[in-house]
Amino acid sequence: MRTRGFTLVELLVAMLIFALIGLASYTVLSQMTDSDARSKERQQALNEVQFAMLMLERDVRQMVRRPVRAVPQEQRDIFVLSDGRTLDSDMDGLAFVRAGWSNPNAQLPRSTLQPVLYRVRDNVLQRIYNTYVDDVSARPYVQDLLHGVEDFRIAYLHDGESINTWNRPGELPQIVVVQITLEEYGYIERLFLTSGKAQLEAATP
């Protein structure tokens, strides 16, 4: 009894079926890989947002009444600055001095005060700080916090009043309003409470 083999047409059909199965498998695998990569990108972007907001909240909560170096000499009693042009920022910025910079047992030759500046350069939100409050010659440290920043605005709330530019001498705003638009997540607004009101009340006889 002769064993019947595959005809050429049958072989071609079988090869076509296997090719289609392979193509479908590759497509599914590619989509899964792309989806996984996209998921990781979104998670990284979310982590950036959360970390940036955490840094802002931590710094703003410890804001103190201390002159900002970028402020002109005649305005040295203004303790918060957000003018982008003055702060070399593509959009608004935020500059102030904060307390609570850890220095256990005074092991480092610096105080616990830290001048900080938030600015946007090339769609990246940066946090910049110096080791010493009044040393203008020292090279600052730059941290890239958040990418894909399309807009960055700073406003203030004080005694129920909304203020775009802080210009009250000798005072700190009670609330800093951060309005940011991101390529990935769109518009985000956060309100950060400062110690401004408590410090003002403590300084009032």
Considering the entire predicted model, what is its pTM? 0.74
* Domain extent at residue 183: 50-203
What pLDDT sits at residue 23?
Answer: 80
190 located within any domain? yes
User: Measured between alpha carbons, how far is 66 from 170 in angstroms, rounded to an integer?
Assistant: 9
Whether residue 132 is contained in a domain is answered as: yes
Residue 114 lies in a domain: yes
Q: What percent of the chain has pLDDT over 70?
A: 78
3-state secondary structure of 98: strand
35: left (phi over 0), alpha (psi -120 to 50) or beta: alpha
- Nearby residues of 122 by Cβ (< 8 Å), 6 or more positions away: 90
Which residues are CB-neighbours of 12 under 8 A, at least 6 positions away? Answer: none
pLDDT (tens digit, 9 = 90+) per residue, 105-159? 555 545 678 889 999 999 999 999 887 776 666 788 999 999 999 999 999 999 9
Query: What's the CATH code of the domain at 95?
Result: 3.10.610.10
Residue 43 lies in a domain: no
Residue 130 lies in a domain: yes
Provide the pLDDT for residue 198: 55
Dihedral class, residue 8 (left if φ above 0, else alpha if ψ from -120 to 50, else beta): alpha
* H helices, E strands: number in the chain: 2, 9
Residue 101 located in a structural domain? yes
Mean model confidence pLDDT for the chain: 82
Greatest mean pLDDT among 31-40, 119-128, 157-166:
119-128
For the chain, what is the domain count?
Answer: 1
Report yes or no on 7 lying in a domain.
Answer: no
Q: Is residue 22 part of a domain?
A: no
| 58 three-class SS | helix
Contact 172, 157 (CB under 8 A): no
At residue 205, the 3 state secondary structure works out as coil
